[in-house]
Structure 1
Amino acid sequence: MKRKNLWKRMKKCYMLYLFLLPAVLMIAVFCYAPMYGVLMAFQNYSPSKGITGSSWVGLKWFRTFFNMPRFWQIVKNTLTLSIYSLIAGFPIPVILALMINSVRNSKFQKVTQTVTYMPHFISVVIMVGMLTTFLSPRSGFLSHILTFLGAPDDAFYMGDAKAFPHLYVWSGIWQDMGWSSIIYLAALAGVDQSLHEAAKVDGATKLQRIWHVDIPAIVPTMIILLIMSVGSIMSVGYEKVFLMQNDLNSTVSEVISTYVYKIGLKQQQYSYSAAIGLFNNGINFILLVVVNKVSKKLSGSSLW
Structure 2
Amino acid sequence: MAPRKQKGFRLGYDFRTQFELKVMLWPAVLLIFLFDFTPLFGLLIAFKNYEPIMGVQGIFTSGWNDFQHFIRVFQNFQFWPMVRNTLGINLLGALVAIPITIVFALLLNEIKHPKFKSLVQTVTYLPHFLSWVIFGGLFITLLNSTGIVNFLLLEFHLIDKPIQFLADPKYFWGVAIGTGLLKDIGWGAILYLAAMAGVDQSLYEAAAIDGAGRFKRMINITIPGIMPTLMVLIIFAVSGMLNNNFTQIYVLQNSLNLPTSQVIDTFVYQTGLLQFQFASATAIGLLKTVFALMLLIGANALSKKITKTGLF
TM-score range with shorter-chain normalisation?
over 0.9
Deviates more, 1:37-46 or 1:16-25: 16-25
| 2:44 pairs with 1:36 | no
Deviates more, 1:272-281 or 1:10-19: 10-19
Name the residue aligned to 1:283.
291
**Matched residue SS, 2:60:** helix
Aligned letter for 2:18?
Y
| 2:182 pairs with 1:178 | no
Name the residue aligned to 1:81.
89
Aligned letter for 2:48?
Q
Name the residue aligned to 1:153.
161
**Kindly, what percent of the aligned residue pairs are identical?**
37
Over 3 Å counting, the alpha-carbon distance change for 1:22 and 1:216 in structure 2 is farther
Over 3 Å counting, the alpha-carbon distance change for 1:251 and 1:194 in structure 2 is same
Aligned partners of 1:100 and 1:54: how far apart in 2?
A: 58
Over 3 Å counting, the alpha-carbon distance change for 1:17 and 1:222 in structure 2 is farther
Aligned partners of 1:13 and 1:142: how far apart in 2?
A: 63
Q: Deviations over 1:181-211 (max 9, x none)?
A: 1111111112222111111100001001111
Aligned partners of 2:16 and 2:125: how far apart in 1?
A: 42
Shift of 1:222: 0.6
TM-score, normalised to structure 1's length? 0.93
Over 3 Å counting, the alpha-carbon distance change for 1:248 and 1:106 in structure 2 is same
Q: Flag as ranges the 4+ runs of structure 1 deviating above 6 A.
A: none
Deviates more, 1:57-66 or 1:24-33: 24-33
Q: Unaligned 5+ residue runs, structure 2? A: 1-6
Over 3 Å counting, the alpha-carbon distance change for 1:12 and 1:196 in structure 2 is farther
State whether residues 10 and 17 of structure 1, in contact with CA within 8 Å, keep that contact through their aligned partners in structure 2: no
Q: Deviations over 1:155-191 (max 9, x none)?
A: 2211011111000101100000101111111111122
| 2:104 pairs with 1:100 | no
Q: Unaligned 5+ residue runs, structure 1? A: none
Shift of 1:302: 1.3
Among candidates 128, 135, 142, match of residue 149 of structure 2: 142
Shift of 1:10: 4.1
| 2:117 pairs with 1:109 | yes
Aligned partners of 2:299 and 2:103: how far apart in 1?
A: 23
Aligned partners of 1:29 and 1:108: how far apart in 2?
A: 46
TM-score, normalised to structure 2's length? 0.91
Over 3 Å counting, the alpha-carbon distance change for 1:92 and 1:55 in structure 2 is same
State whether residues 150 and 162 of structure 2, in contact with CA within 8 Å, keep that contact through their aligned partners in structure 1: no
Aligned letter for 1:6?
F
Aligned partners of 1:104 and 1:150: how far apart in 2?
A: 38
- CA root-mean-square deviation: 1.8
Q: Deviations over 1:90-129 (max 9, x none)?
A: 1222211111111111111111110110111111111221
Aligned partners of 1:142 and 1:208: how far apart in 2?
A: 38
Aligned partners of 2:151 and 2:260: how far apart in 1?
A: 25
Name the residue aligned to 1:7.
10
